[in-house]
Structure 1
Amino acid sequence: MEEKKKFKLGLLPKLIIAIIVGILFGQFLPEGFCRFVVTLSSFFSQFLSFIIPLMILAYVTMGIANLKSGAGKLLLITVAIAYCSTLIAGSASFFVADTLFPHFMSADALDKIAATAGNSLEPYFSLEIPALMNTLSAVVTAFVLGLCMSSLRGKTIGDTLYNGVSDFSGIIDCVLHKVIIPLLPLYICGTFTDMTKSGKTFAILGILWKVFIVVIIMHLICICIQFVIAGLVSHKNPLTLIRNQIPGYATALGTQSSAATIPVNLQCAEADGVSSEIRNFTVPLCANIHMAGSMITITACATAVCLMNQLPISIGTVIPFIMTLGIAMVASPGAPGGSIMTALPFLYMIFGTEAGDPSGPICAIMVALYITQDSFGTACNVSGDNAIGVIVETIYRRFICKSSAQ
């Protein structure tokens, strides 16, 4: 007899439950109990601050080191298109958010949020866990190691270090899946308990559902634009390309993981007429480096959070953030919330040093807001992967193959 599959609650439902429970705790339970919940949440936030530089070191190093696979010209073309797509999507998201979101935020709601700024609950005690390195050191180290391993692997040196970093990446991956992701609901619960007790929650939630709708619409528009461009370049019908992508989009919605969607996305690419040699190269590669949907979500959410907390934000601060994140999110883990966990240490570039503390309440709101839309962002990412595949296939056939034959 076949064993019945155990019912498993996904991360999004868990976070929604955590938000509801946090609101109920803050609304109805005494301050002493709420401070206990906030204390537990603060322990987790300290561990998160410790582990984030290690995540950057592990994932970005491996992501860059693995870029060796593939022909030189094809690799450069694919990476350039994916990076430009991510940058353009993030920049467009900021302009849309900066234009529309202020209309969602009445002066009354902003005044209510501002009035609660100093009302946060204090944990009973805190435990400081110093990080082994700061985030900038982790990024620089990851780039040095990744680039060197990429060029040295398979030669006289490089394989031993590659295998060691690969094992280290597996350990961090285990920590992410076994500790960070399961305890995220506790982190969010503590944040919303504190916010409810301070009177901030309901003013914020009245704004966030409108942000949610705008972000999803931006994802869908982004997908349409990407496939229209792919259709124009390849002389294929964009509507047919979009219809072929529906199974991949639906799979990404369910799994919230670009990596888990790769097998289905390969089938979608085949339906688009992309050859096996190109789709087997572009789909797995873009699953790790093309983050247009995630960038739309993160930029829009960051803009909303800045407006809610009356923090200054401009295109001058957003562009460097997007450019940095477009690289830092390379090979962000194929788990729900992987992109926002990778983005956390860089939020100070928008929020400022104090408000951008990865273990602080503002970043916790960012995590909660992002995770509720993560599946749509992932679906946008993987859909764009196949649009890039169609473009790369066309460039390969028209230019690279021709030049090789001549």
Structure 2
Amino acid sequence: MFAKYRSVSLILRIIIGLVVGAVLAIVFPKAAFIGILGQLFVGALKGIAPVMVFFLIMAAISAFHEGGENHFGSVIKLYLSATLLSAFAAVAASWLFPLKLAFPKSVKVAASAPKSLGKVIEDLLVNAVGNPLDAIVNANYLSILFWALLIGFALRLASKQTRTVLTDVSNAIIHVAQLVIEFAPFGIAGLVYTSISETGFASVAKYGQLVLLLVGTMAAVYLVLYPLMVFVMTGQNPYPLTLWTLKVSGIPAFFTRSSAVNIPINLQACEDLGLNKESYAVSITLGGSANSGGAAITVSVMTLAACSTLGIHVSFFLAIILCVLTALAATGASGIAGGSLLIIPMAASIFGISNDIAMQVVGIGFIIGVIQDSVETAVNSASDLLFAAAAEYHDVQKQTGQKVDIRGAVRKANHKESSRTVEAPVNAEA
């Protein structure tokens, strides 16, 4: 039965969960037990999220190695700068179009937001060096991030077998998180039921505004900011490559909602562009976590929406801290559907927002995830391909002194793609 359940698209299951939750709220508004499904789902996320973040970051840092002929320097610069600039764009969009969320329950700020620069720095330092085990138990994401980075760097000196075990443990935790997310439709049905039965359809309208803000920001980043970065790197019209990557990689990623699942598609696209396999074989895989502009937008927008809802003033300095920490944490976001939402509690902790409230924001994220997570994954996956190509073109132009014909490379890639489509029916039986 579970196999049949999983054979249905997660997107379709989530849509069904949304509809079922809304219908139940209208027909049985007093059946409080239905809302327990949402509580169980959020509780499971609260349990697995801190452990997952800790091991993901440790494994990623410990497994990194240098060497070989590649374009990693340029690729990593593009990945990290794109993620940081995306966070800044999200903050700007949130300030231009502020909105408030509708929580299912009355909530209060666990602690007041820091008032001064000295207090901000003091709280960051104290929270960061907290006991790592206690940090995991209490979901202190600042401390989790700090210790995961330190231990990850230290483990680079460990044996290959030790690092392999760590990677295996990290992968096992990801599988557990995937299993939890498989039951997202039930949790979403419970969350939607609670939202509508307690706050009415006004809350759903607020979620619509949130979706528009998130999707609009992501579209502006991919169609304006990222092409500008490519133009700076290559000195050529960036849109033939930008639009091609959106078609080849972004559209499939929109439906799979998983950067990891889309990696083979990006590898084939790199081959079609004629890129260096030694470079893109690693950079595309690395981009699945290191390049997370869409995740940075989601985390920043939803965190600031929570601050607006709770009446927390966000100073310019706090916004800068949010951007930097969000960009850093987003690089550890897993390549599974909804992975970026689990970073929200860490970002929210900067403003003194309790983990319980932050997980309600995560729940809202899953409610709108049918659209939000699909667009976010499309942005992340397509930009992996976009920046891998831009980095190589930049390095080749710098070494040879001659510009690469990007438009011509895209035409050749389109021809190769068309050739495979024509040949596919011949090999269909095989």
Task: Provide TM-score, normalisation by structure 2.
Answer: 0.75
Counterpart Cα distance in 2 of 1:290 and 1:253 = 16
Counterpart Cα distance in 1 of 2:67 and 2:89 = 31
Find the counterpart in structure 2 of residue 380 from structure 1.
Answer: 379
Q: Deviations over 1:146-190 (max 9, x none)?
A: 21233x2xxxx4223212212211221221122x11222333222
Q: Deviations over 1:101-130 (max 9, x none)?
A: 45xx7xxxx8xx599737xxxxxxxxxxx9
1:15-30 equivalences under 5 Å are 15-29=14-28
Letter of the structure 2 residue corresponding to residue 173 of structure 1: I
Further displaced range: 205-214 or 307-316: 307-316
| Counterpart contact for 2:299–2:326, Cα < 8 Å | no
Counterpart Cα distance in 2 of 1:26 and 1:309 = 26
| Counterpart contact for 2:86–2:293, Cα < 8 Å | yes
Find the counterpart in structure 1 of residue 195 from structure 2.
Answer: 195
| Counterpart contact for 2:38–2:186, Cα < 8 Å | yes
Q: Deviations over 1:41-80 (max 9, x none)?
A: 3344333222222101221112222321555994444323
Find the counterpart in structure 1 of residue 106 from structure 2.
Answer: 117
Q: Deviations over 1:175-223 (max 9, x none)?
A: 1122x1122233322222222222x241122233233234323323222
Instruction: Say which of 58, 62, 67 aligns to 1:61.
Output: 58
Letter of the structure 1 residue corresponding to residue 56 of structure 2: Y
| Counterpart contact for 2:307–2:314, Cα < 8 Å | yes
1:208 corresponds to 2:207: yes
| Counterpart contact for 1:230–1:390, Cα < 8 Å | no
1:357-376 equivalences under 5 Å are 357=356, 360-376=359-375
Counterpart Cα distance in 2 of 1:39 and 1:379 = 32
Counterpart Cα distance in 2 of 1:258 and 1:269 = 15
1:91 corresponds to 2:80: no
Find the counterpart in structure 2 of residue 39 from structure 1.
Answer: 36
Find the counterpart in structure 1 of residue 389 from structure 2.
Answer: 390
Give the superposed CA RMSD.
Answer: 3.3
Find the counterpart in structure 1 of residue 222 from structure 2.
Answer: 223
1:324 corresponds to 2:330: no
Using a 3 Å threshold, how does the CA distance of structure 1 residues 19 and 116 change in structure 2: closer, same or farther?
Answer: same
SS at match of 1:323: helix
| Counterpart contact for 2:292–2:333, Cα < 8 Å | no
Counterpart Cα distance in 2 of 1:160 and 1:377 = 35
Counterpart Cα distance in 1 of 2:298 and 2:364 = 13
Letter of the structure 1 residue corresponding to residue 87 of structure 2: G
Identity value in percent: 21
Find the counterpart in structure 2 of residue 233 from structure 1.
Answer: 233
Letter of the structure 1 residue corresponding to residue 388 of structure 2: G
Q: Deviations over 1:304-351 (max 9, x none)?
A: 34434544344433332332232223343222111212x133142356
Counterpart Cα distance in 1 of 2:248 and 2:211 = 23
Which residues of structure 2 form unaligned runs of 5+?
108-134, 402-430
1:140 corresponds to 2:141: no
Counterpart Cα distance in 2 of 1:46 and 1:169 = 20
| Counterpart contact for 1:297–1:370, Cα < 8 Å | no
Counterpart Cα distance in 2 of 1:310 and 1:9 = 41
Further displaced range: 287-296 or 237-246: 237-246
| Counterpart contact for 1:289–1:329, Cα < 8 Å | yes
Counterpart Cα distance in 2 of 1:201 and 1:65 = 48
Alpha-carbon distance, 1:276 to partner: 2.6
Counterpart Cα distance in 1 of 2:195 and 2:37 = 15
Alpha-carbon distance, 1:229 to partner: 3.0
1:52 corresponds to 2:49: yes
- The count of residues paired between Structure 1 and Structure 2 equals 370
Letter of the structure 1 residue corresponding to residue 28 of structure 2: L
Which residues of structure 1 form unaligned runs of 5+?
119-129
Alpha-carbon distance, 1:303 to partner: 3.0
Find the counterpart in structure 2 of residue 175 from structure 1.
Answer: 176
Q: Deviations over 1:220-254 (max 9, x none)?
A: 32222313431453244323212431111111112
Using a 3 Å threshold, how does the CA distance of structure 1 residues 131 and 293 change in structure 2: closer, same or farther?
Answer: closer
SS at match of 2:331: coil
Find the counterpart in structure 2 of residue 79 from structure 1.
Answer: 76
SS at match of 1:334: coil
Using a 3 Å threshold, how does the CA distance of structure 1 residues 293 and 27 change in structure 2: closer, same or farther?
Answer: same
Further displaced range: 309-318 or 280-289: 309-318
Using a 3 Å threshold, how does the CA distance of structure 1 residues 288 and 312 change in structure 2: closer, same or farther?
Answer: same
SS at match of 1:247: helix
Find the counterpart in structure 2 of residue 280 from structure 1.
Answer: 281
Counterpart Cα distance in 1 of 2:382 and 2:81 = 16
Runs of 4+ in 1 over 6 A off after TM superposition: none
Using a 3 Å threshold, how does the CA distance of structure 1 residues 309 and 77 change in structure 2: closer, same or farther?
Answer: same
Using a 3 Å threshold, how does the CA distance of structure 1 residues 347 and 187 change in structure 2: closer, same or farther?
Answer: farther
SS at match of 1:336: coil
Letter of the structure 1 residue corresponding to residue 149 of structure 2: F
Q: Deviations over 1:334-384 (max 9, x none)?
A: 22111212x133142356333x42674333213323453111111111222
Counterpart Cα distance in 2 of 1:274 and 1:218 = 30
Counterpart Cα distance in 2 of 1:149 and 1:114 = 41
Using a 3 Å threshold, how does the CA distance of structure 1 residues 201 and 247 change in structure 2: closer, same or farther?
Answer: farther
Letter of the structure 2 residue corresponding to residue 67 of structure 1: F
Task: Provide TM-score, normalisation by structure 1.
Answer: 0.79
| Counterpart contact for 1:57–1:139, Cα < 8 Å | yes
Using a 3 Å threshold, how does the CA distance of structure 1 residues 14 and 344 change in structure 2: closer, same or farther?
Answer: farther
| Counterpart contact for 2:55–2:148, Cα < 8 Å | yes
Alpha-carbon distance, 1:82 to partner: 1.2
Counterpart Cα distance in 2 of 1:371 and 1:352 = 29
